[in-house]
Amino acid sequence: MTQSKMTQPNELSFGKQVASIYAPTMIYETGIGAVTPVIPLMALELHASPAIAAFIVALLGIGQVVGDIPAGYLATKLGDRKAMLYGAVVTLILLVTCAFTPNWVIFALSIFILGMVNALFVLARQAYLTEVTPPLRRSLSLSILGGMTRIGSLIGPFVGGAIMSIFAISVAGKREDWLPGAFWAAVVLTCITFIVVYAVPEIEVPKTVKKVKQVTVKTSYILRKNLKMFATLGIAIVLVGAVRQTSNTALPLWAAHIGLNASMTSYIYGLSGLLDALLFYPAGKMMDKYGRLWVAIPSMLILGGSILFIPLTHGIWSMAIVSLIMGLGNSIGAGMIMTISADMAPENYRAQFLAMCRLFGDTGAAAGPLLIAAGAGIGFLSGGIWLLGGCGLLSALIMGLTLEKYSIHANQRTRLRHGMTKQGHPIQ
């Protein structure tokens, strides 16, 4: 639905976007990235079995899935900026608890709640940016948001690793990394996040702009109102979430399957992650200029197609090439689902609608690694990888067939159909 000039949200300047959204996003995600690789190690340190340690790792994602719908409700009630502030405070409490926890049960519960709080923080940023950014610059703004998340996740493990190494302790004459150091690094980064968000005042809406009254609606109402969309495009969102998690599972497992050592696997994984964090800006510009399909379809075709080639690799160079192509496909899709969701979100219950879309994506992200694990469990790892690659191609097909029905900005043709120019400007 096209907004008139009188109902356009007040736009934040890029400098204010950096201060209020992008900087705290990168800082917060750096903290989360610092602790993520340490979660299984900390669990083992607390005398959890390897199976329980693996389950505790999964609790972070499970908590995010469980927290998506409550996050939409809280973001609507509190407001997006307050939700970020409260989310940072609760994150601080949980991180300190993890650093001091005496047993793995409390640790597991803290990680689960941390996932839920992360859902609130992520949704609040997305909803806030959607509110203050006009549709013609929405893709770029949300792609940068996705890029900041990925950059934080990329550098976070290095920050945590550095702190753990610097403060390594001696045990029985042997130096061992100080595992709680990663959590204390995240504590500092989360404090900085809170200060940055608190210091930047909330956007002031001019009196000439009509404020849309935010209402709280039931989840069942959102599902009924958008049933056709969730039954079609929603499936594509689930598949995208699943495919994007492949690099976290398929690459390391296949590298081990063909006999690559841990350091080589880390280098390959790092290459994919590096490229993954680099191309969000041109991708966002392209979505704004030509429409969402110009990025959504190529992203999933490249990512899904490259995944299909993983089982055909037999050495470090072939693995490196495939991982780089995967990083390319994932990188150009940064912010893609957030933008599509924002295009469709009703103004008066935007946060709750975005939360529902995130629930679909996060459910796919949680289920994707299970497909790989199932394939590995029955001795057919390549089959699980091929199945997930096929999911990527299927998501591209579904978006190609359905996105024009639900997003005015799917491409230039849909813009012309709704009385706009090809660039998305209203025709005077």
Per-residue pLDDT tens for 42-58? 888 898 887 788 788 78
CA-based nearest residue to 329, from 304, 353, 302: 302
Kindly write down the DSSP assignment for every residue of 58-80, as one continuous string.
HHHHHHHHHHHHHHHHHHHHH-H
Write phi, then psi, for 314 (nearest 5 degrees): -135, 5
State the pLDDT at residue 174: 62
One domain, residues 166 and 239: no
| pLDDT of 84 higher than 90 | no
One domain, residues 271 and 389: yes
**C-alpha–C-alpha distance, residues 300 and 295, integer Å:** 9
**Mean of pLDDT over the chain:** 84
Q: Is 210 part of a structural domain of the chain?
A: no
One domain, residues 197 and 272: no
Residue 3 confidence class, pLDDT cut points 50, 70, 90: very low
Return the SS3 of 290: helix
One domain, residues 172 and 48: yes
Kindly write down the DSSP assignment for every residue of 358-413, as one continuous string.
HHHHHHHHHHHHHHHHHHHHTT-HHHHHHHHHHHHHHHHHHHHHHHHHH-TTSSHH
Q: Is 69 part of a structural domain of the chain?
A: yes
Contacts of 50 (CB under 8 A, 6+ apart): 44
12-to-1, 78, 124 alpha-carbon distances in Å: 21, 20, 16
Q: Vertex 346, ends 344 and 350: CA angle to 5°?
A: 100
Bridge partners, 420 (sequence order):
426
Q: Is 24 part of a structural domain of the chain?
A: yes
**C-alpha–C-alpha distance, residues 245 and 360, integer Å:** 14
If one counts every other C-beta atom within 10 angstroms of the C-beta of residue 252, the result is 16
The DSSP letter of residue 38 is: G
Domain limits for position 32: 13-201
Beta-sheet pairing, 174-176 with 169-171:
antiparallel
| pLDDT of 374 higher than 80 | no
**C-alpha–C-alpha distance, residues 165 and 148, integer Å:** 26
Which of 201, 231, 264 is the C-terminal boundary of a domain? 201
Give the N- to C-terminal CA distance of the chain in Å, as an integer. Answer: 17
Q: Is 320 part of a structural domain of the chain?
A: yes
User: Which pTM value belongs to this model?
Assistant: 0.80
One domain, residues 232 and 324: yes
Which of 201, 226, 251 is the C-terminal boundary of a domain? 201
Which tokens belong to 427?
A: 């025709």
User: What is the total count of domains within the chain?
Assistant: 2
One domain, residues 236 and 164: no
Q: Is 1 part of a structural domain of the chain?
A: no
State the pLDDT at residue 411: 87
Q: Is 101 part of a structural domain of the chain?
A: yes
pLDDT in tens, 267-313: 777 777 777 778 888 888 899 989 999 999 999 999 999 999 999 99
CA-based nearest residue to 81, from 123, 28, 35: 123
| pLDDT of 209 higher than 60 | no
Q: Is 11 left (phi over 0), alpha (psi -120 to 50) or beta?
A: beta
Q: Is 88 part of a structural domain of the chain?
A: yes
At position 10, the amino acid (one-letter code) is N
**Higher pLDDT among residues 253 and 227, named by residue:** 227
One domain, residues 47 and 144: yes
State the pLDDT at residue 105: 94
Most confident of the following: 4-18, 133-147, 368-382: 133-147
Residues 335, 125 contacting (CB under 8 angstroms): no
One domain, residues 131 and 279: no
Alpha-carbon 384 to chain mean position: 23
Residues 352, 81 contacting (CB under 8 angstroms): no
| pLDDT of 123 higher than 70 | yes
- Compute and round to an integer the Cα radius of gyration of the chain: 21
One domain, residues 197 and 310: no
Mean pLDDT for 344-366 is: 88
One domain, residues 36 and 142: yes
One domain, residues 186 and 242: no
**pLDDT above 70 as % of the chain:** 90
| pLDDT of 208 higher than 60 | no
Q: Is 211 part of a structural domain of the chain?
A: no
Residues 369, 248 contacting (CB under 8 angstroms): yes
Residues 142, 134 contacting (CB under 8 angstroms): no
Contacts of 349 (CB under 8 A, 6+ apart): 76, 214, 215, 216, 217, 222
Which of 144, 172, 201 is the C-terminal boundary of a domain? 201
Return the SS3 of 206: coil
One domain, residues 352 and 256: yes
Residues 324, 287 contacting (CB under 8 angstroms): no
CATH number for the domain spanning 272: value is 1.20.1250.20
pLDDT in tens, 126-183: 887 887 777 778 888 888 888 888 888 888 888 888 888 888 765 545 667 788 888 9
